[in-house]
Each structure stands twice: as structure tokens, then as C-alpha cells.
Structure 1
Amino acid sequence: MRFEKSIFFDLVPHFKIEFSFGDFFLCKNFVISELHEGIHFDWDKILEVIEAIGTYYGEDFEIAYISNRVESYSIDPHLWHRFHKEFNFIIASATVVYNDFGYINASIEKQFANISLKRCGSLVEALNWVKHLKEFNQN
């Protein structure tokens, strides 16, 4: 289910950024991505997103990343390793998958991630998981 079609769309304050390759919803502690069918999410696209996210959140921010995979697209799982070498603002990630193939891809990516990467069967599950991350619930 797309974020815009979910009950959370009107409940969770967000800022939407539309790229030629997908939509990103920037929320208080997390970002939801919904990439377009058939694109290859390469390093240049990642840098474009990072620039927009950095402009929105400012300096010294930490967020969770929710990849809502409502469409099929490709990404090199090795990019997780490169991302963590160069950037450190994503503290955890949830991948919402809607079929077995998506689950297998998310499992492969999990092997390359240096952070907690949860595979979820729904956007509700991903949002609940992010909401309860200890990093966002410290007093």
C-alpha cells in the first residue's frame, strides 16, 4: 500500500519530495521511499536524495529509512556498505515487501547493511517498528 493511500498519510506530518525516479516522504524521525517501477536506484540517485534530505533536516540528524517497495526496481546491495562508509545519519531501516521475490531481495540487502534492517510485510508494521526504536524513545 502506498503511503498516500494509507491511514497514516493524514495522521503523520510529512514533506513530500518528488524525483523522476520516485517519491520520498520526510517525517519527523524517518523517511519513506517509494521508487518507480523498473528504475535502477544507483549511487547518483542516492546522492540526489541525500542532498534533499540534508537540506530538509539540517545538520547532525539521525533518521530511520523505510523502503516501501510497492513497485519492482533494482539496487546494488553493495551500495549499503558504501553508504555507511560515507554517511551515518540512517540508524535503522525497514523494507516493506509485498511478495516472496521482494523478501529475498531484502534478505540479500540485509547481509550488506551495517545497521538494523527489518523486513516487513506491511507499511503498518514498518511504521510501528520505527516508532518503537530506542534511539527515538530516549528521555
Structure 2
Amino acid sequence: MKFENSEYFKILNPTKLVMPFGTYYLCEKFLIVELDEGVHFDWDKAEQIIKKVFEFYGDDAIIGFISNRINHYSVDPNNWKKVEEKYSLIIASAIVMYNSSTYMNASIEKQFTQKSIKRCLSLKEAIDWMQNLKEFN
């Protein structure tokens, strides 16, 4: 389910950021990402969005990250490690899975980070988990 079609879209009132490779929804404490079909999300794209995240949340941003995987695309799993080493902005991540290949990819990506990555079966599950993180309460 696209975030804009969910009950949370109106509740969270996000700032929508459309990039050439996907759509980002900047909420108060976390962002929701929906990458475009067929994109290869590499380090160059990661740095482009990280710059926008710091512009929106500030230089000392501490946020959560939800990847709403409604489309098929590839991600360089080393991005997770690079983000941790270069920036300290993501405290936890959730990956919303809609098929078994997404589950396998999320399991592989989980090996590349020391931060918590929760694999979720719905956008609701991911948002509820993110909103209840102890770091935000």
C-alpha cells in the first residue's frame, strides 16, 4: 500500500519530497521512503537524500527510517554501513515487505548494519513500531 493511500498520511501530515528516483515523506520523527520501480539505489542517491534530510531535520537529526517497498528495485546493502560510519542520523529502520524476495533482501541488508531493522508485513506495523520506539518517548 502506498503511504499516501494509508490512514496515516493525513494523521502524520508529512512533507512530501519527490526525487528522480523515489518519493520521501518527512514526518516528525521518521521518514518513509518509496523508491521507484527499477531503480538501483546506490551511494550517490543515498547522499542526495541525506543532504535533503539534514536540510529538513537539521544538522543534529536523529530519525527513524521506513522503507515501504511497494516497487521492485535494488539497493546496495553497503549503503547501510556507510550511513552508519559517516552519519549518525538513523536510530532504527523498518522495511515493509510485500513478497518473499523483499523478505530475503531485507534479511541480507540486516547483516550490513548494527542498527535495528524490523521486517514488517504492513505499513501500519512499521509506523506503529516506529512511533513506539523508546528513543522517541
TM-score normalised to the size of structure 1? Answer: 0.97
**Aligned residues between the structures:** 137
Q: Distance in 2 between matches of 1:51 and 1:59?
A: 10
- List aligned pairs for 1:43-122, cutoff 5 A: 43-122=43-122
TM-score normalised to the size of structure 2? Answer: 0.98
In 1, the alpha carbon distance for the partners of 2:76 and 2:70 equals: 18
* Offset of residue 74 of structure 1: 0.3
Distance 2:81 2:53 in 1: 19
Q: Give, in angstroms, the shift of residue 103 of structure 1.
A: 0.3
| Distance in 2 between residues matched to 1:109 and 1:29, nearest whole Å | 22
CA distance in 2, matches of 1:53, 1:79: 16
How far apart, in 1, do the equivalents of 2:89 and 2:79 lie?
Answer: 15
Q: Distance in 1 between matches of 2:80 and 2:53?
A: 17
Matched, 1:20 2:42: no
**Contact kept? 2:23, 2:35, Cα under 8 Å:** yes
List gaps (5 residues or longer) in structure 2.
none
Amino acid of the structure 1 residue aligned with 2:66: I
Shift of 1:132: 0.7
Percent identity (aligned): 49
What residue ranges of structure 1 are gaps of 5+ in the alignment? none
Q: Could you tell me how far 1:13 is from its partner in structure 2?
A: 2.0
2:131 aligned partner: 131
Deviation at 1:59, TM superposition (A): 2.2
Structure-2 separation of matches of 1:75 and 1:101:
13
